[in-house]
Amino acid sequence: MQAVVVTEFGAEPRLAQLPVPDPGPTEVLVRIHAAALNPSDWKVADGALRNVAPHAFPLVMGSDGAGIVEKTGSRVSRFRAGDRVFGQFMQVQRGLGSYAEYSVADQDGVIASIPDGVARPVAAALPTAGVAAYQAVEAARLKPGQVVLINGAGGGVGQFAIQFAARAGARVLATGTADLAEHLQGLGAAMVFDFTRVPTHKQVATAYPGGIDAVVDLVTPAGGDLQAMSALIRPGGTLVSANHAAPQETLAGRGVRGINLSSAASADLLTKLAELAATGDLRVHIDRQVRLSAAPATVAHARVSHARGKTLFLP
């Protein structure tokens, strides 16, 4: 099978031919029809989890994918051949991932059925970004009428977060370039601030001199400076950082909750997200669909550019 691999931490991704993996007794073999690009994919390839778990090389990149069950293990009862499924396929200990023509997943792992009416590329875009957005907004504990800023709203996680925050009844402020403003407003943003024109915190402070209730920050890296963003939040509010950049003790001194989010997907949550997509209550913006053979170049580009929705790889 074709797969996109790295042969060591930090190596350039390349297309390779690998054997089709065999499913274990409780696993399913899935023919991948679409795999989604997430920043965590290249971070893992660079060694982000080297101290967490052993890695097998060549390591197939990618976590999120969707496809058709081709074969089931002897003790599998949840799925059968021909089922449409999606989920997270990364198993670094075995060198497995979703940037491949085939992958395997345990029936009790982070994998779920795709409901009718949801295309496989849409399902593939949901797991990592959808779960992170859902749990970030849940952590903010938004109440109807509260004002929340989604910082980094133009990417896949941010576009989902806008929708979840709007569903909670909040007034959503979003950051995004001018050409994305109309799209982000269509997802539920009341105002869009172009961070390339004036620093975001200055624009928000001008629009809301009395402060806002919450910030969901999706872009500031660990160790980055969130002081200006956190200064926007009124006492009693919340700052959620998706990259563990929230200075919790400092925020607590101002009466602000600081949350460094570690999102964790489950089959039940995947099912919930897919059902929302099936009913049209959660919109998925797919920015690009490219062939698996173009994945190495696409990953290289994504490292230095701003996401504008989800990128999918198709075998």
* CATH number where 115 lies: 3.90.180.10
**Do 157 and 218 form a contact (C-beta atoms < 8 A)?**
yes
Question: Is residue 269 a part of any domain in this protein?
Answer: no
**Do 148 and 170 form a contact (C-beta atoms < 8 A)?**
yes
Q: What is the CATH number of the domain that holds 160?
A: 3.40.50.720
What Rg do the C-alpha atoms of the chain give, in angstroms?
20
Q: CA–CA separation, 8 vs 45, rounded Å? A: 8
Q: CA–CA separation, 215 vs 158, rounded Å? A: 12
296 and 253 housed in the same domain: no
- Compute the Cα dihedral for 228, 233, 236, 237 and give only its sign: negative
Check residue 116 and give its pLDDT.
Answer: 95
- Compute the Cα dihedral for 204, 209, 215, 219 and give only its sign: positive
| Among 255, 310, 305, 257, CA closest to 133 | 310
Check residue 178 and give its pLDDT.
Answer: 94
**Do 108 and 74 form a contact (C-beta atoms < 8 A)?**
no
Question: Is residue 272 a part of any domain in this protein?
Answer: no
Check residue 48 and give its pLDDT.
Answer: 94
Q: Cα 109 to the chain's mean position, in Å? A: 18
18 and 107 housed in the same domain: yes
184 and 288 housed in the same domain: no
228 and 297 housed in the same domain: no
**Do 142 and 170 form a contact (C-beta atoms < 8 A)?**
yes
212 and 305 housed in the same domain: no
Check residue 306 and give its pLDDT.
Answer: 78
Question: Is residue 213 a part of any domain in this protein?
Answer: yes
Q: Cα 138 to the chain's mean position, in Å? A: 15
How many other C-beta atoms are found inside a 10 Å radius of the C-beta of residue 70? 16
**Six token digits for residue 15:** 């297309």
Check residue 3 and give its pLDDT.
Answer: 98
**Six token digits for residue 162:** 């806008």
Question: Is residue 144 a part of any domain in this protein?
Answer: yes
The residue range of the domain holding 84 is 2-125+284-314
16 and 116 housed in the same domain: yes
297 and 181 housed in the same domain: no
Q: CA–CA separation, 273 vs 126, rounded Å? A: 7
Q: How many domains does the chain have?
A: 2
pLDDT by position in tens, the chain (length 315): 999 999 999 999 999 999 999 999 999 999 999 999 999 999 999 999 999 999 999 999 999 999 999 999 999 999 999 999 999 999 999 999 999 999 999 999 999 999 999 999 999 999 999 999 999 999 999 999 999 999 999 999 999 999 999 999 999 999 999 999 999 999 999 999 999 999 999 999 999 999 999 999 999 998 899 999 999 999 999 999 999 999 999 999 999 999 999 999 999 999 999 999 999 999 999 999 999 999 999 999 999 887 788 999 999
Element (H, E) at 274: helix 267-279
Question: Is residue 24 a part of any domain in this protein?
Answer: yes
Sequence length of the chain is: 315
137 and 104 housed in the same domain: no
Give how far Cα 231 sits from Cα of 57, 193, 210, 292, Å: 45, 17, 11, 44
**Do 285 and 310 form a contact (C-beta atoms < 8 A)?**
yes
**Do 36 and 127 form a contact (C-beta atoms < 8 A)?**
yes
How many other C-beta atoms are found inside a 10 Å radius of the C-beta of residue 108? 11
Check residue 59 and give its pLDDT.
Answer: 98
